[in-house]
Amino acid sequence: MKKIIALFLLFSLSGTLYAAGPYDGIYSVIVSGVTSGYATVHEVNNKMVVIIVDPMPNTPWEPMIGTRRGNSVSLTNVVGVSSSDIQLKVTVNFNDNGPSTATIASCVNGISHVCLFPTGSKFNLEKLF
């Protein structure tokens, strides 16, 4: 009986833990009119986690974190989590009426990985869902 009560409590508590940000979802990253990757956005209390995934095999994914202010967030990659060793900062401006934009604020090459795009590069983010 104790196991059933513990299981019930676990499920009832876990139902209240979810991302609730207005910009949560999956976005396609558009470079020169072509989808070059995807970003998943999750937010709780203005704290945002973004994971950038490249569809190319053997290409590292990039986790990023930041705090949203209004419709903008400055993201910094989490060093040591993926195989990528670059230092990346990106500013994202979310738009409710069209594509959002991401701008590389800075990118520093690592030992084993190099920045694919220079500082100042801009990308469109189209929300898929």
Q: Give residue 1's pLDDT.
A: 43
Residue 12 lies in a domain: no
* Contact (CB, 8 A) for 64 and 52: yes
Q: Which domain holds residue 119?
A: 19-127
- For residue 67, pLDDT over 60 is answered with yes
Residue 74 lies in a domain: yes
Q: Give residue 9's pLDDT.
A: 40
b/e map of 87-126 (b: 16 or more CB within 10 Å)? ebbbbbebeeeeebbbebeebeeeeeeebeeeeeeebbbe
Give Cβ neighbours of residue 102 (< 8 Å, ≥ 6 apart). Answer: 29, 39, 90, 91, 92, 93, 122, 123, 124, 125
Residue 70 lies in a domain: yes
For 64-82, what is the mean pLDDT?
93
Residue 54 lies in a domain: yes
Structural domain tally of the chain? 1
Q: Which tokens sit at 127? A: 């929300």
Residue 29 lies in a domain: yes
Residue 4 lies in a domain: no
- For residue 21, pLDDT over 90 is answered with no
CATH at 23: 2.40.128.30
- For residue 116, pLDDT over 70 is answered with yes
